[in-house]
């Protein structure tokens, strides 16, 4: 069900046609998320 609702929401945003989503904002959030995952992975993979 989540995939269907997410697909509907993304389709609605894509049909807007204007600057509904700022690509720099999305890219920044993606980069921040990946850096957070990298930090968590490094913390969990420390050699003891």
9 token code pair: 């929401």
pTM over 0.85: no
C-alpha 35/C-alpha 12 separation (Å) is 29
Nearest CA-CA partner of 12 in 48, 25, 4:
4
35 token code pair: 């850096």
pLDDT in single tens digits along all 48 residues of the chain: 667 887 787 777 667 666 667 889 999 999 999 999 999 999 999 876
């Amino acid at each position: 069900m989540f995939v269907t609702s997410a697909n509907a929401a993304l389709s609605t945003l894509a049909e807007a046609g204007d600057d509904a989503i700022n690509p720099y904002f999305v890219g920044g959030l993606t980069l921040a998320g990946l850096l957070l995952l990298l930090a968590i992975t490094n913390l969990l993979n420390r050699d003891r």
